[in-house]
Amino acid sequence: MTRIVVIDNHGQFTHLEGRALRDIGVDTEILENDTDPADIDADGLVLSGGPSMDRVGRCAEYLDLGVPVLGICLGMQFMAEELGGSTKSGDYGGYADVDVEILDDEDPLIGSLAPETRVWASHADEVDEVPEGFARTARSDVCEVEAMSNPERGLFGVQWHPEVAHTEEGEAVFESFRDICESR
């Protein structure tokens, strides 16, 4: 059975991420973000959302574990900054429904989603520039980088929360991530 660890960055939806993965048959554990990387045994990691970039613990070390990583909201923003991209304050704060446009129908994480899909996201902060080696894979009228991907490294990020009921096709995002983890 595929094992995916959710790294808790103190976000309000972390437990829903674990639940969404368990619901698709994934062995899932939620670990604090100060867990020693040597103690993590997983086929993949989810870097959860959270309140602030200064509370991401040892997440930088987790990017080097050699397993696929999915960054959600703050998890994606952290990944972008850590790997040489940039973030900025968004023009729209708070949570809201957003229609995102999928830019790459070949992307292993979100390429199978409808060309335009409705998601639930906060845009208080957002990725401004993707790191070298990443592609921007989704955008919206609110944010130019709704998702990013580096399939060669197994690193993916979404601005939105696939774990909440308000996001259409959220389960498909987790299924695709599970498949990515199983294929490595």
The active-site residue out of 17, 59, 73, 181 is 73
Decide if 106 contacts 173 (C-beta within 8 A).
Answer: no
Q: Known catalytic residue: 181?
A: no
Helix, strand, coil proportions of the chain in percent (round to 5)?
25, 30, 45
10 Rama sector, left if φ>0, alpha if ψ -120 to 50, beta otherwise: left
Q: Which of 17, 163, 168, 175 is an active site residue?
A: 163
Is residue 59 annotated as a catalytic residue, yes or no?
Answer: no
Residue-level length of the chain: 184
**17, 123, 143, 161: which one is catalytic?**
161
- Tell me how far apart the alpha carbons of residues 30 and 32 are, in angstroms, rounded to a whole number: 7
Tell me how far apart the alpha carbons of residues 50 and 172 are, in angstroms, rounded to a whole number.
22
Active site residues: 73, 161, 163
